[in-house]
Structure 1
Amino acid sequence: MSDTLPDLPLMAWEPTKDTLHLYTQIVGKIQLASAPPRNHWWHATLRVNESGYGTGRMVHDGVSFGIAFDLVRHRLVVRTPGREEAIPLRDGLSVAEFHDSLFALLRELGVHVKIKAEPFGVPMTTPFADDTEHAAYDRERVEDYRDALLWVDEVFREFRGWFTGKSSPVQLFWHSFDLAMARFSGRAAPPMPEADPVTREAYSRELISFGWWPGDRAVAAPMFYAYAHPEPDGLTAQPLAPDGAAHWEQTGTTHQARLPWDQVRAAAGPRGTVLDFLQSAYAAGAITARWPYGDLPSNWCPPRGLVEPSQAAGTSGP
């Protein structure tokens, strides 16, 4: 894939991003209601495809169906065996109209699914069926987002392939609109009795998570990130690559490794820059949490200043 990456200034497309995010939450909630449960809520997440992203195959009321955002032809596609219908995505299509059109189409196809029809985990609170405020759709900016999403998905899938332990799919989380994946040590994480059931299941095992999001009101720029759960002592003392671009950021009581999208766009080798960042964040978490290292890739060379995990003291196992 081309390493000429699109510019994604949040201010230039925030109204469109918010609208697309709310559209996506509706589709994500339909999958949540129609797919059999999997660990860590993996059944509810979306996947990047060749023209955008969408659900896996779902079954509801005995009907097999799938929903996908075609961001090449700018339409939402609903498929059942032998039939394909689409809702055009356009400027002026409010969240309310999108919601009503999609559910009318599903009923026509014999799918009578019910969801909690209100936003989750975002500043917007208006129920989907009542939201006429969010209706922006800038095709050019959506295409830039699509191109960025496909590029990041490809890099993440390469990185995922280096690890032979338990690893999540590369998946689009519709509640936060970030593309992410995680590696697992195989050990249980400490209980979280005060957390909600969603969080308790998501973080029931030790993990190191890696992701990319297009920006939001808290972080007003596209960003790669990584974090370890539970966060081990000494994590932020570990070096990150590339030096001078990646950094540790405090997020409440924990920390994230971060690498700005614009630093990647400006790099001589964007793909290698991201892979080095991901591997350095993994090494930082795995070294300090004392993960076993038998599954480290053999085809990765650490940038200057990073320590090979096999050379780090006390890393022979948990």
Structure 2
Amino acid sequence: MEKNALPRLQYKGSEQQKLTLHLFFQIMGKIRMSCSPRKNHWWYITLYLDTKGFTTGPVPYKNGLETFTLLLNLHNQRLEVFTSGGEEAYFDIFEGISVAEFYLQLKNILKRFGIETEILERPFDLNIDKSFKELEEIRSYDREYVQRYWKVMLWASNVFKDFSGRFYGKTCPVHLFWHSMDLAVTRFSGKRAPKMPSEARISDKDAYSHECISFGFWPGDPNIPEPAFYSYTFPAPEGIEKTTLKPKQAKWVENNGNWLAILPYRDLQEVEEPATVLLDFLESAYQAGARLKEWDVEDLKVPPLRDLLKKTAPKRGQFQQLKNQS
């Protein structure tokens, strides 16, 4: 039985609803990628959680003189486009809208605003051979499913931001990777990772150029058919699957030769303080990978602000001295 206010979310029975939204994300993300300057580890292609829905954030065009933003506004159920020049346009997102119509309407607005984009018009890594403009048959946008998914992701994003602030090392923003539809935040040790084979995908070579421990949430897929939080260490240290995770419901799962720490979302719906439990999971997965990879865990730890204040607070009597001097 659910013990908190986290929304219900499931993969089984919602596969087509998830796929439709996933393809909308891929269209938005590819447009952002086509216009944005390159950044390490593909951080320039992602989407973000917004108080109204999902957004690209500001994207440069006209040689960087202006920006535009795409926003999937879930309050108004429409895709909005607005520019730094004051132009605004939108089209309605309704139940039954096809991926093809979504794509063509968005392209028409961008063309009207003089925003030139060149993208590979095919879905990425979804075993779909048609182009976006041909996908008339994929039309399972479901307002209720998307609202629940967004609220879960918004909550997860806030917890990830809390966790992110506890690490002094290089850390990516909390962002949504549209290729696999997962929300992620990643920590880096600063050490180079072993060179990947020449046949490895370019995306993997750039994403995993350095040692990292990644944390995320996805809404489920055929391999793990339920929404779940995850973490993995790259390169995976030997024996990580033998380490203890928190809470007890979390487990190690082998996936494509790597070990994933998995915490099903449904388990968080059954606890009274889900944010605390999720933070414990993230920390336990981090400790497992960081210590086995010999990261300087203590040096990279950000202490609570109250601890810093204790170290810098004036001693008794110094307050009056400071007041007299001023």
TM-score > 0.5 by shorter chain: yes
Tell whether 2:291 aligns with 1:287: yes
Deviation string, structure 1 residues 10-52 (Cα, Å, up to 9, x no partner): 1332211110110110110001100000000100011111121
Which residue number in structure 1 is paired with residue 25 of structure 2? 24
Residue equivalent to 1:168: 172
Q: Counterparts of 1:220 and 1:123 in 2: how far apart (Å)?
A: 18
- What letter is aligned with 2:22? H
Contact 2:4/2:271 (8 A) holds in 1: no
Q: Deviations over 1:182-228 (max 9, x none)?
A: 00001000000331211100000000000000112222110000000
Change (3 A) 1:3 1:110: farther
Counterparts of 1:179-194 in structure 2, within 5 Å, are 179-193=183-197, 194=199
Name the larger-Rg structure: 2
1:61 counterpart residue number: 62
Indicate the residue corresponding to 1:118 in structure 2.
Answer: 122
State the AA in 2 paired with 1:156: F
Aligned partners of 2:128 and 2:82: how far apart in 1?
29
Query: Which residue does the alignment assign to 1:213?
Result: 218
- Provide the residue aligned with 1:71 in structure 2: 74
- d(CA) in 1 for partners of 2:177 and 2:282? 19
Q: How does 1:1-318 map onto structure 2 within 5 Å?
A: 4-62=5-63, 63-81=66-84, 82-193=86-197, 194-243=199-248, 245-293=249-297, 294-299=299-304
**Mean alpha-carbon deviation: is it higher for 83-92 or for 168-177?**
83-92
Q: Contact 2:87–2:113 (CA<8 Å) still a contact in 1?
A: no
Cα offset, 1:3, TM superposition: 5.3
- For the residues of structure 2 that align with 1:217 and 1:88, how far apart are their CA atoms? 31
Give the Å deviation of 1:60.
2.4
* 1:69 maps to amino acid: L
Q: In structure 2, what residue type is equivalent to 1:286?
A: A
SS at match of 2:43: helix
Offset of residue 297 of structure 1 = 4.2
Contact 1:51 1:146 survives alignment (8 Å) = no
CA distance in 2, matches of 1:254, 1:137: 33
Give the structure-2-normalised TM-score: 0.88
Q: Aligned partners of 2:147 and 2:79: how far apart in 1? A: 14
What fraction of aligned residue pairs are identical, expressed as a percent? 40
Aligned residue type for 1:76:
L
Cα distance in 2 between the residues matched to 1:33 and 1:133: 26
Corresponding letter in the other structure for 2:54? Y
**Hey, what's the Cα distance between the residues in 1 that align with 2:238 and 2:10?**
35
Q: CA deviation at 1:124?
A: 2.8
Give, as a single letter, the amino acid of the residue that structure 1 aligns with 2:94. Answer: R
Q: CA RMSD in A?
A: 1.4
4+ long deviations beyond 4 Å = none
Output one character per residue of 1:104-154: Cα deviation in whole Å (capped at 9) or x when no partner.
010001112111000002233321010011111211111111110110000
Paired with 1:290 and 1:18, the residues of 2 have a C-alpha distance of 40
Distance between the aligned counterparts of 2:123 and 2:19, measured in 1? 11
**Amino acid of the residue matched to residue 77 of structure 2?**
H
Distance 1:135 1:213 in 2: 21
Cα distance in 1, alignment partners of residues 301 and 238 from structure 2? 22
Q: Work out whether residues 122 and 130 of structure 2, in 8 Å CA contact, stay in contact via their aligned partners in 1.
A: yes
Q: Residue type matched to 2:6 in 1?
A: L
For the Cα contact (< 8 Å) 1:33–1:113, is it kept in 2? yes
CA contact (8 A) 1:155 1:271 kept: yes
- Structure 1 alignment gaps of length 5 or more: 300-318
Which secondary structure state, in structure 1, belongs to the residue aligned with residue 14 of structure 2? helix
State the TM-score, normalizing by the size of structure 1: 0.90
